[in-house]
A and B are shown apart, each in its own frame.
Chain A
Amino acid sequence: MSERMTKKSERIEFTKEMKKDYTILIPNMLDIHFRFLVNVFRRNGYNVELLTNADPDVCSQGIKYVHNDTCYPALLTIGQMISALKSGKYDLNKVALVMSQTGGGCRASNYIHLLRKALVNAGMGHIPVISLNLSGMEKNSGFKLTLPMLRQAFAALIFGDCLTLLNNQTRPYEVNYGESENLVNHWVTTISELFEKGGAVDRKSIRTLMARILESFENIQIAERKKVRVGIVGEIYVKYSPLANNNLEKFLFDQGCEVNVPGILSFLLFKVDNRLEDIELYGGSGLKKIAVNVMFNYLRQFEDDLLSVLRTSKRYIPPASYAHLKKIVAPYIGHGCKMGEGWLLTAEMLELIESGYENIVCAQPFGCLPNHIVGKGMIRSIRENYPEANIVAIDYDPGATRVNQENRIKLMLAIGREKLEERDSGLKTEKIDYAYSFSPVKRAA
């Protein structure tokens, strides 16, 4: 029964006072990236804690407090927070929450409002919720994204993308099990320490660090193994969060695959570029255009640095540039398609196919509106041009069971494996469920 809304409650601000002794809870999404981000926040005086609870209560609380037809990511993140708050671990008068707010025509812009509604209904309406956004929505006196903090945050995301990519391309082939993961942990610690001292944010040190990171991964001994290469695209939360996608990456890894999950940087570039694209398509102020361009170019530098370092590698496949993504997608879908992951999702599928990851899981919440268009809606035309594309769309939802999802993914993998063998018939597979092939060596151009 919905609560009677007697009067509009005022938004609870996160004040300077609160900053002193409140614990701020953040929902988890990207493992490596968020480990960095937590350190960035802490260094700037925020007592943050990354939520890692993933038990069934998360989903039950979500079902209880969020309209069930709302997308699964909202249900999970809100469920995760409420479940944590109810766990008794936190002093409910000394705790605050963070929720990102992207704006835009998708339902996702509403998460923060749904979270507040849920809190009110759970009798915890007094808990402040901080909106994390770059558009200046909802100000809080106790929480400011300062320029130095933003620089660190961006640097953290670049390092996150870099480490994720190298780890994904190394781990399936490493001779000494665990070496790659250890290296990731090593770099998270090292770089966080550098952040602590105010370092690792300027272009030069980022580039140097990434070169060192690359070198360290290239020193890991790898073996030639036959692996099915699988790319993951999708709605951003379901794509990245193991909680939402039932540990998809781990499942694929256990099935003997090499997994490629395109990074977050292009998503950021995409979101900024959308504003330029809007002005281009519909008209708008020139001043705004200049301001947005500054931001766009700032982010692009990071991309340049990441790519220029990775391209020196003989071993690893670098991601494509944002500019390239934008170019290859043009024949398929307009650049004005910007809600949710927009055209970027389609572009990522194309890019994955181009770089040898023709087996793709397109992961989305059940009933995800943008993905009707940019995911499922584009598969047909992609396959027309790339008949080898082997794409499976998987819906995630509190009612969808793992067994159904995994069965469909296994079908995709079985076809992927068969193709692999047809192409490479010299090598014999060892087991039905575990195929091995290719070391992570760049395809001959």
Chain B
Amino acid sequence: MLKIGLDVGSTTLKSVVLDTKGQIVYKKYERHFSQIADKVIGMLSDIARSFPKEKFAQLSIAGSAGMGFAEQVKIPFVQEVFATKAAVRAFQPDAEIVIELGGEDAKILFLSGVMEVRMNGSCAGGTGAFIDQMGTLMAMTPAEMNEAAANHQKIYTIASRCGVFAKSDIQPLLNQGANKEDICASIFAAVVNQTIAGLAQGREFDGNVLYLGGPLTFLSELRNAFDAALKREGVNPENSLYYVALGAALVNNDDALILEDTIRNIRLLGGNRDYISLPPLFRNRDEYRAFRKRHDQNAEPTDAPLTDSKRAYIGIDAGSTTLKAVVLNENEEVSFAKYLPNSGNPVPLVKNFLEEAYEKFPGIRIVASATTGYGEEIIKNAFHTDYGIVETIAHFTAAKKYDPDVDFIIDIGGQDIKCFKIRCGAIDNIFLNEACSSGCGSFLQTFAGALGKSIEDFAELGLLADQPVDLGSRCTVFMNSSVKQAQKDGATIENISAGLSISVVKNALYKVIRVRDTESLGDHIVVQGGTFLNDAVLRAFEQEIRRNVVRPGLSGLMGAMGAALYAKERASDEGRIESTIMNRDGLADFTHSVRATVCNICTNRCRLTINTFDGNRRFIGGNQCDRPVRSKSDKPKHNIYEFKKTLLREYGDVNGVRRETIGIPLVLNMYELLPFWHSFFSTLGFGIKISPPSNRTLYLNGQHSIPSDTACYPAKIVHGHIEALLDKKVDAIFYPCMTYNTDERLSDNHYNCPVVAYYPEVIRSNVKRLAETKFINDYVGIHRPKDFPRKIQPILEREFGSVALKDVERAAKNAYAELAAYLNAVNDKGEALLELAREENLPAIILSGRPYHLDNEINHGIDRFIAEEGAVVLSDDCLMRRYEKFPTAVLNQWTYHARLYAAAKFAADADDPNLNLIQLVSFGCGVDAITTDEVRSILEAGDKIYTQIKIDEITNLGAVKIRIRSLFAAARQKTGVYHV
């Protein structure tokens, strides 16, 4: 009798056959391309053929895509981690830790001591699919990535929790010309980081490590990255791809089946179709033909001759995944266009484009040129184009050409979704996708790739699908599992393809734009961007909003068109007659080289890429601020964030007079309460040590004890601060739980959010090293100043022996006074800055968030970026004198959030076009799901544009800058000043 184990993974099918002695007599591995039933039948038939004498077999199925299938065909199912464990026990009994990465799963098994098994939760970054996705972006196969990574010099920090974040980290690196070798190695390092952070959860890696699963079998560099991180050498055993299948075969004690009957059974039961479906995109070919005919009317040539004057305008859109470039003639017709995948480096593509243009039009007179997109700056620097404009304005400029009355533009590109509402000829509102609301072109591309198709073929498959799968709308990672579920339910590729196109549209409408009533989009809708080139997506969009839209003939080129049109308009305003763009001779001598380095100016330690053009011109990318690239500060900066930081630095370490030294972590609410506790403890004679400023290394030092990876970054970084205090050997760490914040009379209650209130409990429960010192995390209420001294006194006495109540009372008095003085100073400064902005007619931004958004590592220098753009940076806590309580549509019960609403109200009512508000939102902040909608309502009631910036562990400042620049551009449009 044979023992067969089948492992139906998310992308591959593996099988193993054991004989009665437990020897492996057969194994096979192949991709199943979603055709699970067919492939299983094929494999079992092959087994039957290979062992003609065996009629009976014990058969069981494991694997993430195998569960539903097993139920359907009535074959025993073995959970895959459990199967792995059984196989490891049988074949590698010495292994103590198993790390297994699969297509969409990551697992760690701790087998020694207290056995623990961990699987990645619903955020599935850092898996095989993640590597595939990154490969698509790099235009490399995983094997090529492995090869490249072997020769790396440097590791860049790349977010791996979410493919969306990772892409936005990688894209700028590519655009800045970082080496592929380094990027590939960084991607592997990110996967390692994610696996350890997400799954180890405080457990140390002590013992022999075993590497299993596809990615770890095929990618030696990934194994090396794990070895480096774990500081030990793991083993990749023979048959490492087959452990799940082996385990499935081993665990089975069921009755034997007749193999042939089983195959017949699967054929009978395996193909059932049972999933939630949507109406088809087109009911028949005729409907599709009519649709094509309507849209084909907008077709436009891309080879209009130059006019007699030979004058031309060049627009280049160096997007995240594609490069678009056009030459417009004097009549604004396209004479020459390129639409190319940028493969990570736009510079040579632009060079080719220009060369071809010069070749094609010998007498061309380029009057003006402009660049836009992610690569705007590098292209501008490399080729001396005249202008750079923010993408949003480029697209609007182009759309106006097709429909002067356009009131809504939606652009779905490779990585971005951009939508703008136009009102009175100006951009009124901008929506950009952010993490977890991302389903763009590259998303379709990744799926197409996983199913072995090109994106065009893949999307086309869906056009005539009869029952598109309802996949909902969610981030890519979740979508993977939705597709998996659909595959399990027997959906065909056609129906999955149609379902994905529909989900891209729904995602854009309901997640990014957050549209409630599709009527409100307007009557003149222009759609553009590469993704809309797919008829399936376009059709899904029209179906969803129940109205026809305009897809310009050159919808993929709109950014470049807009840039060229902008260049033309601006040249005519300025009377420019010749562009500075590099001429034919310049191109012939053009050279480009790249070097990576680290900026040492501040603690951010930005990884810089230094591009050198023509041997002497430098362009630096990767910088978070302009310090490494400017020679001397030209404009004075007005930034309340810097001011607050300077104030807080006053509360530094002090030596104790007669008491122990207390460590205070500068995290979360401590960013505001530091003056209070500092004064309190120093009055009592305690020494004080403050945790050092946050940075990435500090975070990584504490990462291993984070129990919930989906908590916000400001909370997760607390672990690093605690480790740093432990290193300082303080006598006690004081980090109290605080359900309540102080009452500022702006709200109905004065809570802290649950995370701010109770994170000390997480620290107590998860940081083992706390045994080295005292950890004081009692529940403390400074909202009742009268009760506070008598409530905290017993806590102090418990930890430090006798402390007189009257001393505590005096210390408390000082503490309250110190906090008031600090807030007063902040507000004095705020008032002064606001006055200055008004006097000098400067734009002012209330950069609102929470006190802890002051942390550089958390805000990624966004405050400095805004200040460098010439705006006065204010905060929601520096204009408190101007706030009053007002009714909100949501329950206003958190102290920090009340400030936010009040600040929004102030900005909305201020009747000051120069004053705007930007809300910083930390990824994972559940409370901000409520505040953001409310702040938007308040601002929009006052005709203000709402801008939200989501920040996480790693944030791509490129996207942030687009947002901020768009806000400035839109505000300028409103005030009537069109040009920068």
**Interface of A toward B, CB cutoff 8 Å:** 1-6, 8, 56, 59, 63-65, 67-71, 103-107, 109-110, 112-114, 116-117, 121-122, 278, 281-284, 332-334, 336-340, 366-374, 376-381, 383, 387, 393, 395, 397-404, 406-408, 410-411, 413-415, 418, 429, 431-433
What residues of B have a CB within 8 angstroms of the CB of A113 in the complex? 889-891
Q: List 11 A-B contacts (CB under 8 A).
A: A5-B889, A56-B470, A64-B516, A105-B751, A339-B751, A380-B202, A380-B766, A403-B68, A407-B64, A414-B78, A432-B251
Choose among A283, A395, A399 the residue that contacts B472 (Cβ–Cβ < 8 A).
A399
Q: Convert B77-89 into 0s and 1s, putting 1 for each residue whose CB lies closer than 8 angstroms to a CB of A.
A: 1111110000000
Choose among A371, A377, A383, A414 the residue that contacts B79 (Cβ–Cβ < 8 A).
A414
Alpha-carbon distance A376/B706, docked complex (angstroms): 10
Question: Closest 6 CB pairs between A and B?
Answer: A283-B787, A399-B474, A282-B781, A336-B779, A69-B929, A105-B751
Q: Are A67 and B930 in contact (CB under 8 A)?
A: yes
Choose among A1, A56, A110 the residue that contacts B930 (Cβ–Cβ < 8 A).
A110
What residues of B have a CB within 8 angstroms of the CB of A69 in the complex? 436, 926, 928-929
Alpha-carbon distance A231/B426, docked complex (angstroms): 58
Residue with the highest number of chain B CB atoms closer than 10 Å, among A403, A410, A431: A403
**Interface of B toward A, CB cutoff 8 Å:** 60, 64-65, 67-68, 76-82, 114-117, 119, 121-122, 201-202, 251-254, 276, 421, 429, 436-437, 470, 472-475, 478-479, 481-482, 484-485, 488, 510-511, 513-517, 520-521, 707-708, 710-711, 715, 737, 739-740, 749, 751-755, 757-759, 761-762, 764-766, 777-781, 783-784, 786-787, 790-791, 887, 889-891, 893-894, 924, 926-930, 932-933, 936-938, 940-941
Q: Are B786 and A376 in contact (CB under 8 A)?
A: no
Choose among B202, B252, B739 the residue that contacts A339 (Cβ–Cβ < 8 A).
B739
Q: Are B707 and A70 in contact (CB under 8 A)?
A: no
Q: Are A395 and B121 in contact (CB under 8 A)?
A: yes
Q: Are A283 and B781 in contact (CB under 8 A)?
A: yes
Q: Are B481 and A404 in contact (CB under 8 A)?
A: yes
Shortest A53–chain B CB gap in Å is 15
Q: Are B933 and A4 in contact (CB under 8 A)?
A: no
Q: Are B889 and A395 in contact (CB under 8 A)?
A: no
New A-B contacts (18) at CB < 8 Å, excluding given A404-B481, A414-B82: A1-B421, A6-B941, A70-B929, A105-B753, A109-B893, A337-B739, A339-B754, A369-B753, A372-B710, A373-B759, A380-B201, A399-B478, A399-B479, A404-B64, A407-B64, A411-B117, A414-B78, A414-B79
Q: Are A63 and B82 in contact (CB under 8 A)?
A: no
Q: Are B119 and A376 in contact (CB under 8 A)?
A: no
Q: Are B779 and A334 in contact (CB under 8 A)?
A: yes
Q: Are A410 and B781 in contact (CB under 8 A)?
A: no
Q: Are A432 and B119 in contact (CB under 8 A)?
A: no
Choose among A8, A64, A109, A403 the residue that contacts B481 (Cβ–Cβ < 8 A).
A403
A65-B516 CB under 8 A given contacts A2-B936, A432-B77: yes
Q: Are A410 and B924 in contact (CB under 8 A)?
A: no
* Identity of the chain A residue whose Cβ is nearest the Cβ of B203 in the assembled complex: A380
Q: Are A403 and B64 in contact (CB under 8 A)?
A: yes
What residues of A have a CB within 8 angstroms of the CB of B479 in the complex? 399
Q: Are A105 and B889 in contact (CB under 8 A)?
A: no
Shortest B943–chain A CB gap in Å is 9
A107-B929 CB under 8 A given contacts A334-B778, A410-B79: yes
Q: Are A407 and B485 in contact (CB under 8 A)?
A: no
Shortest A107–chain B CB gap in Å is 6
Q: Are B707 and A339 in contact (CB under 8 A)?
A: no
What residues of A have a CB within 8 angstroms of the CB of B762 in the complex? 372-373, 377
Shortest A85–chain B CB gap in Å is 15
What residues of A have a CB within 8 angstroms of the CB of B932 in the complex? 67
Choose among B65, B484, B710 the residue that contacts A367 (Cβ–Cβ < 8 A).
B710
Q: Are B890 and A105 in contact (CB under 8 A)?
A: no
What residues of B have a CB within 8 angstroms of the CB of A387 in the complex? 114
Q: Are A121 and B516 in contact (CB under 8 A)?
A: yes
Shortest A331–chain B CB gap in Å is 10
Q: Are B79 and A379 in contact (CB under 8 A)?
A: no
Alpha-carbon distance A327/B777, docked complex (angstroms): 19
Choose among A5, A63, A376, A403 the residue that contacts B708 (Cβ–Cβ < 8 A).
A376
Alpha-carbon distance A397/B929, docked complex (angstroms): 14
Alpha-carbon distance A373/B758, docked complex (angstroms): 7
Alpha-carbon distance A121/B889, docked complex (angstroms): 13
What residues of A have a CB within 8 angstroms of the CB of B764 in the complex? 381
A283-B784 CB under 8 A given contacts A373-B754, A401-B482: yes
What residues of B have a CB within 8 angstroms of the CB of A432 in the complex? 60, 76-78, 251-254
* Identity of the chain B residue whose Cβ is nearest the Cβ of A338 in the assembled complex: B739
What residues of A have a CB within 8 angstroms of the CB of B777 in the complex? 334
Alpha-carbon distance A377/B707, docked complex (angstroms): 6
* Identity of the chain A residue whose Cβ is nearest the Cβ of B116 in the assembled complex: A383
Alpha-carbon distance A186/B797, docked complex (angstroms): 59
A64-B510 CB under 8 A given contacts A399-B478, A403-B64, A415-B82: yes
Q: Are B60 and A107 in contact (CB under 8 A)?
A: no
Alpha-carbon distance A143/B751, docked complex (angstroms): 29
Residue with the highest number of chain A CB atoms closer than 10 Å, among B276, B470, B740: B740
What residues of A have a CB within 8 angstroms of the CB of B790 in the complex? 283
Q: Are A107 and B927 in contact (CB under 8 A)?
A: yes
What residues of B have a CB within 8 angstroms of the CB of A56 in the complex? 276, 470
Q: Are A397 and B893 in contact (CB under 8 A)?
A: no
Shortest A3–chain B CB gap in Å is 7
Shortest A288–chain B CB gap in Å is 13
Alpha-carbon distance A278/B754, docked complex (angstroms): 15
Shortest A117–chain B CB gap in Å is 6
What residues of A have a CB within 8 angstroms of the CB of B708 in the complex? 371-372, 376-377
Shortest B786–chain A CB gap in Å is 7
Q: Are B511 and A68 in contact (CB under 8 A)?
A: yes
Q: Are A411 and B81 in contact (CB under 8 A)?
A: yes
Alpha-carbon distance A179/B595, docked complex (angstroms): 76
What residues of B have a CB within 8 angstroms of the CB of A415 in the complex? 82, 115, 117
Q: Are A381 and B766 in contact (CB under 8 A)?
A: yes
Q: Are B473 and A407 in contact (CB under 8 A)?
A: no
What residues of A have a CB within 8 angstroms of the CB of B122 in the complex? 366, 395, 397, 399-400, 404
Alpha-carbon distance A112/B930, docked complex (angstroms): 12
Choose among B759, B778, B893 the residue that contacts A105 (Cβ–Cβ < 8 A).
B893
What residues of A have a CB within 8 angstroms of the CB of B758 in the complex? 337, 339, 370, 373-374
Shortest A81–chain B CB gap in Å is 16
Q: Are B67 and A403 in contact (CB under 8 A)?
A: yes
A379-B784 CB under 8 A given contacts A393-B121, A402-B485: no
Q: Are B891 and A368 in contact (CB under 8 A)?
A: no
Q: Are A109 and B941 in contact (CB under 8 A)?
A: no
A334-B761 CB under 8 A given contacts A372-B710, A383-B114, A431-B76: yes
Residue with the highest number of chain A CB atoms closer than 10 Å, among B76, B472, B938: B472
What residues of B have a CB within 8 angstroms of the CB of A339 in the complex? 739, 751, 754, 757-758
Alpha-carbon distance A371/B786, docked complex (angstroms): 32
Alpha-carbon distance A336/B516, docked complex (angstroms): 40
Q: Are A333 and B516 in contact (CB under 8 A)?
A: no
Alpha-carbon distance A283/B521, docked complex (angstroms): 53
Residue with the highest number of chain B CB atoms closer than 10 Å, among A63, A387, A414: A414
Choose among A2, A6, A8 the residue that contacts B514 (Cβ–Cβ < 8 A).
A2
Shortest A128–chain B CB gap in Å is 16
Shortest A215–chain B CB gap in Å is 39
What residues of B have a CB within 8 angstroms of the CB of A372 in the complex? 707-708, 710-711, 715, 754-755, 762
A281-B781 CB under 8 A given contacts A1-B520, A105-B894, A367-B926: yes
Shortest A406–chain B CB gap in Å is 7
What residues of A have a CB within 8 angstroms of the CB of B115 in the complex? 415
Q: Are B515 and A340 in contact (CB under 8 A)?
A: no
What residues of A have a CB within 8 angstroms of the CB of B894 in the complex? 105
Q: Are A403 and B484 in contact (CB under 8 A)?
A: yes
Alpha-carbon distance A413/B754, docked complex (angstroms): 31
What residues of A have a CB within 8 angstroms of the CB of B475 in the complex? 399
What residues of A have a CB within 8 angstroms of the CB of B116 in the complex? 383
* Identity of the chain A residue whose Cβ is nearest the Cβ of B513 in the assembled complex: A1
Choose among B64, B754, B786 the residue that contacts A283 (Cβ–Cβ < 8 A).
B786
